[in-house]
Amino acid sequence: MRAKLEILAMVLGFVGLFGTVTITTLPMWRVTAFIGANLIVMEILWEGLWMNCYRQANIRMQCKVYDSLLILPPELQAARALMCLSIILALVALIISGCGMRNASCCRGDVKGKNITLLVGGCFFLLTCLTTLIPVSWMGHSIIRNFYNPQVQDSQKRELGEALYIGWATSAVLLVAGIILVCRYSSRRSKDELSYTDTYVMAERDVPKEDSVDLDRQPSSFYKQQQYV
């Protein structure tokens, strides 16, 4: 059962890595809001981290990469950097956590090193969850704030895109993976300390004490007489 929890955490880690890559590449962070005078439902505009895509009815989607990074709003620039960092952290977390699993060949003889490696992997997953949740939530807050801002024109208002919902789900998956690995470290450490204590006590019992007298068994005099006879 304990090994299955570690495998489950690794599977969730792979899902989290795939999710971070997906939401980084998807252009569906901000979607056109059809409100007020903006009622042309046959035209849809998606805005992502790297490009914006435009689609009309019965026409193939057309995407264009942003011309310059300086023209982007601050939350979009920060989201770019944090999402790229999330992908790197998720990959590093998977590698470290794989080395810290019980059945892994890495550090097989060093139980304490394996436990620490597993803890580091869990912390990396939690850090990845944080670096994924911050840009997604920041972007969602910015979209909602501008949507209810009367000074923003209706044509410039946007709604939450599918990438944001995938980002929140991915953050939850990474959080669960990190918690499982950290909890496994705690249970491993308690078990190893208990086994070490039992081994130390048994070894201490086998060591002869200084005050004790070790008497070797000597053959009896009757046995010697029988030998001469």
- The residue ranking higher by pLDDT, 208 or 72, is 72
When mean pLDDT is compared across 78-82, 85-89, 168-172, 197-201, the lowest value belongs to 197-201
What range does the domain containing 61 cover? Answer: 2-196
Total number of domains in the chain: 1
- Looking at every residue in the chain, the average pLDDT score rounds to 77
Predicted pLDDT at 14: 94
In a domain, 180, yes or no: yes
Q: How far apart are CA 65 and CA 25, in angstroms?
A: 12
Q: What angle do CA 113, 131, 156 make, to 5 degrees?
A: 170
Confidence at residue 170, expressed as pLDDT on a 0 to 100 scale? 95
| pTM of the predicted protein model | 0.75
Q: Residues 174-190: what's their mean pLDDT?
A: 80
Q: Is residue 156 part of a domain?
A: yes
- What angle, 0 to 180 degrees and rounded to 10, lies between the N-to-C axes of helices 2-25 and 74-99? 150
What are 26-36's pLDDT values in tens digits? 988 988 766 65
Going by C-beta distance under 8 Å and a sequence separation of 6 or more, which residues neighbour residue 15? 170, 173
pLDDT over 50 (residue 193): no
Provide mean pLDDT across the span 140-169: 85
Residue 205 clears pLDDT 60, i.e. is over it: no
Q: What is the mean pLDDT of residues 97-119?
A: 72
Q: What pLDDT, on the 0 to 100 scale, is given for residue 115?
A: 77
| Assigned domain for 207 exists | no
Residue 36, domain member (yes or no): yes
Reported as a pLDDT band with limits 50, 70 and 90, residue 24 is very high
Tell me whether residue 205 is in a domain.
Answer: no
Per-residue model confidence (pLDDT) at position 200: 39
pLDDT, residue 69, reads 77
| Residue at 211 is within a domain | no
Residue 120 domain-assigned?
yes
- The secondary element (H helix, E strand) that includes residue 55 is strand 51-56
Q: Is beta strand 43-47 parallel, antiparallel or unpaired with respect to 30-32?
A: antiparallel
Q: CATH number for the domain including 164?
A: 1.20.140.150
